[in-house]
Amino acid sequence: MTGLSGEKFDLLVIGGGITGCGVARDAAMRGLSVALVERDDFASGTSGRSSRLIHGGIRYLEQGQLHLVHESIRERQTLLRIAPHLVKPLAFTWPIYRGARVGKVKLSAGLLVYQLMAVGRSRKHSTLNAAETLEREPSLKSAGLTGGAVYYDACTDDARLTVANAVAARELGATVMSHTRVTEIIRDGSKAAGALARSQHSGESREIRARVVVNATGVWQNAFDSDERARRLRGSKGVHIGVLRERVGNREALTLISPVDGRVMFCLPAGQQAIIGTTDTWTDEPPETVHASASDVDYLLRSANAYFPRAQLTPDDVVSAWAGIRPLASTQAANPSAVSREHSIVTDSSGVINVTGGKLTTYRSMAAEIVDRVQEALGREKKAAPTDSVELPGADRPKEIARLQHEDPALSKPLVEGLPYTGAHLVYGVSKEMAQDLSDLLIRRTHLAFETRDHGKSVAPRSADIVAPLLGWNDQMKRARIREFEEDVAHMFAISKA
């Protein structure tokens, strides 16, 4: 680990999910000296396991969370503007069936409010009759279909949006480290003064001194809370499955009400795949190894089959299944779906600023609020950064990948036939997106591990050969990295019986 000895940063951010990376970018843009430390890869936690939506959150209207919807719609428009290469508009069809919990009148009223909140910032929704709904999505069940609506939100690449914030922070002068775990908060008396951090690869430990510490470790947060009082987090597990889109037949995105429990769920297009999700159940599973269970998969298949009867999906159709944990404010609520997705920022008695909850969509405004607190703690005047107008890095990726392929035609060969990933994507991931190992590359800089039944195991050796010269791996290191990758995908994509 270089560049840390003797240096005292204004801010140490622990955790390189979307929250921590967003905070690091905002703080660096305000001119603070910043260190960002992530135990594994950026977005290896919840931020790389989301539904990949940048959305107003229409379902929150039902719960009366108008503030969250308003903020989310504003942020959706901001992200479409500052990251058009990572955030794209997406049309959703919401079919309505006779006797549905959300009927025509309720949906029209909800979409009208949604529209009014986005006035001038979104394409207008429209209502559909049954024939129009089927024209948009011919694979839907026709029996009982009374109509529907089409409305507009946006989708993203969650992991690369997170990485883009880390890259931006680094370009602005922040010291940004992945694969480095904070093992302990250092205190001067009772006040937090930095942390001890250990490199995952070298095992070397260093002290990182900082005037202010932000704990953005998401579901890991409780591990660092010095105050019992401040332990305010509970995890809710969300599972997605990926199946071949030609099996489901969806053309675009669909918002559906699960016939199993009446929850809002999505069927989303992702290249050749349809992603179906999600579940929402309290969990105590460790976030490092959280994965889907057979009953999670069964719930999602039963829900989807009710809408796409011709598909009759079975567990054999599942190309991959994965889980993430939502960090939610601690509550006794029986049903996690009822818990607010608003964030909370709590400074504990040692001065550590802890962040709980939030959404991928609202990360930028949440980061600005956190950095206001940091400036307050530093005794400096609050000075907003133009994070809503400066473009996020990475727009040049297609051009850079084409250049790499032109210079070395071997890098044009698809890693897996039929998928849009080549050796050049891996080289770009290492050289521009701070990827350090095969999981970073095959799970998060590309989505190859989600989109193949073996989760990328068969291309791991070839991928290791391509990036070894860039990462300085010898044969022994290559073998070790392949083994670690196999362990990572075995944890992430396992489907347990219970």
Ligand X SMILES: Cc1cc2nc3c(=O)[nH]c(=O)nc-3n(C[C@H](O)[C@H](O)[C@H](O)COP(=O)(O)OP(=O)(O)OC[C@H]3O[C@@H](n4cnc5c(N)ncnc54)[C@H](O)[C@@H]3O)c2cc1C
Written as one string, the DSSP assignment of 225-258 is -S-STT--EEEEEEEEEEEEHHHH---SEEEEE-
Q: Half-sphere exposure (CA, 13 Å, Cβ side) for 169?
A: 33
Shortest distance, position 14 Cβ to ligand X, whole Å = 5
> What does the block give as tokens for 237?
């597990």
Shortest distance, position 312 Cβ to ligand X, whole Å = 25
List the one residue from 326, 444, 447, 455 that touches ligand X (CB under 6 A): 326
Question: What CA–CA distances, in Å, run from 233 to 42, 326, 335, 341, 395?
Answer: 21, 10, 15, 12, 36
Pick from 275, 269, 278, 266: which is nearest to 239 by CA?
278
Pick from 361, 81, 44, 96: which is nearest to 218 by CA?
44
Shortest distance, position 179 Cβ to ligand X, whole Å = 10
Residue nearest to ligand X (CB): 17
List the one residue from 9, 29, 47, 137 that touches ligand X (CB under 6 A): 47
CB closer to ligand X, 29 vs 90: 90
Interface mask (CB under 6 A) for ligand X, residues 273-292, using x and -?
Answer: -----x--------------
List the one residue from 4, 159, 169, 216 that touches ligand X (CB under 6 A): 216
Residues 6 or more apart whose Cβ sits within 8 Å of residue 156: 52, 53, 54, 79, 83, 86, 87, 88, 360
User: Does 360 interact with ligand X (rule: CB under 6 A)?
Assistant: yes
Geometric angle at alpha carbon 182, from 27 and 282, rounded to 5° = 90
CB closer to ligand X, 219 vs 489: 219
> What's the DSSP call for residue 63?
T
Round to whole Å and give the CA distance between 430 and 191.
Answer: 38
User: Does 182 interact with ligand X (rule: CB under 6 A)?
Assistant: yes
User: Does 220 interact with ligand X (rule: CB under 6 A)?
Assistant: yes
List the one residue from 147, 194, 358, 394 that touches ligand X (CB under 6 A): 358
Round to whole Å and give the CA distance between 124 and 308.
Answer: 27
User: Does 53 interact with ligand X (rule: CB under 6 A)?
Assistant: yes
**419-448: contacts with ligand X (CB under 6 A):** none
Shortest distance, position 185 Cβ to ligand X, whole Å = 10
User: Does 361 interact with ligand X (rule: CB under 6 A)?
Assistant: yes
Alpha-carbon Rg for the chain in angstroms: 22
Coil vs helix vs strand at 74: helix
User: Does 235 interact with ligand X (rule: CB under 6 A)?
Assistant: no
Coil vs helix vs strand at 37: strand
Shortest distance, position 496 Cβ to ligand X, whole Å = 17
User: Does 181 interact with ligand X (rule: CB under 6 A)?
Assistant: yes
Q: Tell me the number of residues near ligand X by CB under 6 A.
A: 37
User: Does 218 interact with ligand X (rule: CB under 6 A)?
Assistant: yes
Shortest distance, position 150 Cβ to ligand X, whole Å = 19
Only one residue has tokens 């956190």, namely 370
Q: C-alpha 318: how far from its chain's center?
A: 21
Shortest distance, position 357 Cβ to ligand X, whole Å = 7
CB closer to ligand X, 350 vs 405: 350
CB closer to ligand X, 127 vs 344: 344
Interface mask (CB under 6 A) for ligand X, residues 183-212, using x and -?
Answer: ------------------------------
Shortest distance, position 17 Cβ to ligand X, whole Å = 2
> What's the DSSP call for residue 206?
E
Residues 6 or more apart whose Cβ sits within 8 Å of residue 374: 10, 11, 23, 27, 32, 212, 214, 353
Coil vs helix vs strand at 128: strand
**6-45: contacts with ligand X (CB under 6 A):** 14-20, 37-40, 44-45
Pairing, β 292-293 against β 495-496 = parallel
List the one residue from 9, 12, 32, 51 that touches ligand X (CB under 6 A): 51
CB closer to ligand X, 89 vs 103: 89
CB closer to ligand X, 21 vs 459: 21
Q: Name the residues that contact ligand X, by CB under 6 A.
A: 14-20, 37-40, 44-47, 49-53, 181-182, 216-220, 238, 278, 324-327, 358-361
